[in-house]
Chains A and B, each alone.
Chain A
Amino acid sequence: MTVMTYREAVRQALREELLNDERVILIGEDIAEFGGTFKVSLGLLDEFGPRRIRNTPISETAILGAAIGAAATGLRPIVEIMYSDFFAVAMDQMVNQAAKMRYMFGGKISLPLTIRSTMGGRRSAAAQHSQCLEAWFMHIPGLKLALPSNPYDAKGLLKTAVRDPNPTIILENKMLYNTKGEVPDEPYFVPWGQARVVREGKDVTVVALSDMVDFSMKAAEQLATEGISVEVIDPRTLVPLDIDTIVRSVQKTGRLVVAHEACVTGGVGAEIAMQVVYRAFDYLVAPIERVGAKDSPIPFSPILEREILPDDRDVIAAVQRTLDYAA
């Protein structure tokens, strides 16, 4: 085991996959000499050269289109979209092309395409560089989607994605790039569609995405001092979603809180809540609570941003509400 940052873990996955398969190439804005806006690909140009580490113009449609065409014809491109907010300018390629090409062609092609991007706020990056847009992609059949919450998963989920013959999207959390964790020295893959029980508990289940896992763990520790036992589950991938693990937990605890940084309305939390209601209705002893950003564009001023975005205090309050509920 080596302790490394989330950024280093992603870089190691990229490097290993570039070494593993000549057909793997990186495509993105400022990813070569500059090493990417978040320095994830720093150093890869020196090792692999400009043929494989391909800087592009600021043209998300052209980037994604070229990656789709390359994947359809035999390469295994890994695209970096600098901020997931920028998907908005190229959603046709994501939604109408990448997600549907195999299906429209009656299964005659595969698209081994990995798309990495960054999500989340808490950096005063304001309304156009801070969003969490996972719900957009979860709603489109044909795209796989992961939100790694720690260095181990960031590396292992990415390596699995590069070997997957389908379009995969990985939303990395900007606030996690500098966080550290243990990563095995030997090669490993994290399977998609298997949730992780981060902390076992018996009173309330908290399903948390991305950096809300850390906030939920902090909340669980605080609540433990008050004698409340919280089970924290990180789905790791939203497509495919391991609903079974979540349902089993709710069958045990009878209470569910879903926590994500994306705004609450129309968020992934609603989908998870509905699936749990359908599968575990008789086990629920309190209404399901959702934790997420207040419905608002993300403001610039730190004090305003803190008002909008959720953190451990919101998780604690939500857990408390499920416990206080009297039928």
Chain B
Amino acid sequence: MTEALDSRIPKEVALQLYETMQRIRQFELTVVDLFARGKIPGFLHTYVGEEAVAAGACKALRPDDYIISTHRGHGHLIAKGGQFDLMMAELFGRRTGYCKGKGGSMHIAEPALCMLGANAIVGAGIAIINGAALTAQYLGLDRVAVAFFGDGASNTGAFHEALNLASVWNLPSIFICENNGYAESTPQRQHQKIKDIAVRAIAYDIPSSIVDGNDVGAVYLATLEAVTRARSGGGPTLIEAKTYRWRGHYEGDPQMYRSKAEIEAWEKKCPIARWRSVLIASGIPVAELDAIDQRIQEELERAVAFAEQSPWPDPSEARADIFTPTPEVA
């Protein structure tokens, strides 16, 4: 039976949620293919299957709200408004990329979109996001700051220290745990005894919620509630979104740690197919959704061409951007 669209979500928002998820999915499938063909150097961690979390959470934010991401960060940047062409060029290591080819997939960032970076150290961003929240609070701006992280990161010291500090300073920080059941290869049951990471909020006296991370509407509404609380001075929230990573920890991961049956079971819970059914049931024509998909595909093709035609960085730029030029103060 198809679910009905929650009456709190306007159709226009519902369509945008669909589009964002599709943008993430198609970007990821495209880079998987490019990576396999040797076009993308380094490591690649994809977000396929988890799209509803980034899409739902970022839809609840304003452009001037901050986010910080993880090593699996493409989806968060796309959901915050990242452009395919500049992302693709960064993944290709080209000079035209978001970070001039210095960051790559694991460090892609765009401060102009208030996206404070993918981060290849598990848990590190959770500590950093409090600083963005502190700036907002200190300057009296009603901005919020969101850290995305996985179940694995919930065992780091940074997670516990940061939740505690956000609590005692009453910061407008929102901690969104994407519990995909695995810390790299280690299943959740082997890395923590709790099933619900949300219970850890109790230790820091902050509110929490658990949402179906494959239900983009639920993620959106849960984040909206946390955002409303944070903007009005109500402090931090921990949201646990339960989801699943369809592909390996990295591209090329042999995935001996899980069964094909488990992966297939989760593929049946595809957040995009599910939301598409909700939209169709709510009266949105299939053709409109197909047109969105088509547009995204065309944009991606242009982005790949842009990346392929973009110049490599000049070796003389390798040591630029380490320090900001220092003004004379004396």
Contact = CB atoms under 8 A, between A and B. Distances in A.
Interface of A: 25, 51, 54, 56-57, 59, 61-75, 77, 89, 92-93, 96-97, 101-111, 141-142, 144, 159-160, 163-166, 188-192
Given A61-B158, A104-B102, A142 B322 contact: yes
B330 interface: yes
A96 B161 CA distance: 18
Interface string B128-166: 111111111011000001000000000001100110110
Contacts of A142: 322-323
B161 A68 contact: no
9 contacts: A57-B168, A62-B127, A65-B129, A66-B131, A66-B165, A69-B132, A69-B134, A70-B131, A142-B322
Contact of B128 (A65, A77, A89, A105): A65
Contacts of B330: 160, 188-191
Given A105-B103, A105-B109, A107-B320, A74 B164 contact: no
B175 to A, nearest CB: 13
Contacts of A63: 165
A62 B161 contact: yes
A106 B102 contact: yes
Contacts of B326: 164-166, 192
B277 to A, nearest CB: 39
Contacts of A108: 99, 109-112
A110 B327 CA distance: 13
Contacts of A56: 165
Contact of A57 (B121, B128, B164): B164
A104 B130 contact: no
Interface of B: 66, 68, 97-103, 107, 109-112, 116-117, 119-121, 124, 126-136, 138-139, 145, 157-158, 161-162, 164-165, 168-169, 320-327, 329-330
Given A65-B158, A106-B99, A71 B121 contact: no
B103 A69 contact: no
Given A25-B138, A163-B327, A96 B131 contact: no
A16 B330 CA distance: 14
Contacts, number: 163
Given A75-B134, A75-B135, A163-B329, A69 B128 contact: yes
Given A65-B128, A74-B135, A107 B165 contact: no
Contacts of B132: 69-70, 72-73
Contact of A106 (B100, B124, B127, B139): B100
A56 B138 CA distance: 16
A93 B133 CA distance: 17
A110 B324 contact: yes
Nearest to A190: B330
A71 B102 CA distance: 21
A188 B329 CA distance: 9
**Which 3 interchain pairs have the tightest Cβ spacing?**
A69-B131, A65-B127, A107-B321
Nearest to A65: B127
Instruction: Identify which of A74, A104, A166, A191 gathers the most chain B CB atoms within 10 Å of its CB.
Output: A104
A61 B110 contact: no
B99 A72 contact: no
Contacts of B110: 108
Contacts of B322: 102-103, 141-142
Contact of B130 (A62, A144, A166): A62
A111 to B, nearest CB: 8
A72 B131 contact: yes
Given A70-B132, A188-B330, A65 B124 contact: yes
Given A62-B158, A160-B329, 19 more contacts: A54-B169, A57-B164, A59-B161, A59-B164, A61-B127, A61-B162, A62-B161, A65-B124, A67-B131, A68-B131, A69-B133, A70-B135, A104-B103, A106-B103, A108-B112, A163-B327, A165-B325, A165-B326, A166-B323
B207 to A, nearest CB: 19
A73 B100 contact: no
A74 B161 contact: no
B124 A96 contact: yes
A97 B111 contact: no
Contacts of A105: 99, 102-103, 107, 109, 111, 117, 321
Given A66-B131, A107-B320, A165-B326, A51 B138 contact: yes
Contacts of B126: 65
A93 to B, nearest CB: 6
B109 A65 contact: no
Contacts of B124: 65, 92-93, 96-97
Contacts of A77: 131
A106 to B, nearest CB: 4
B165 A62 contact: yes
Contacts of B145: 69
A97 B321 CA distance: 15
Contacts of A165: 324-327
Contacts of B112: 108
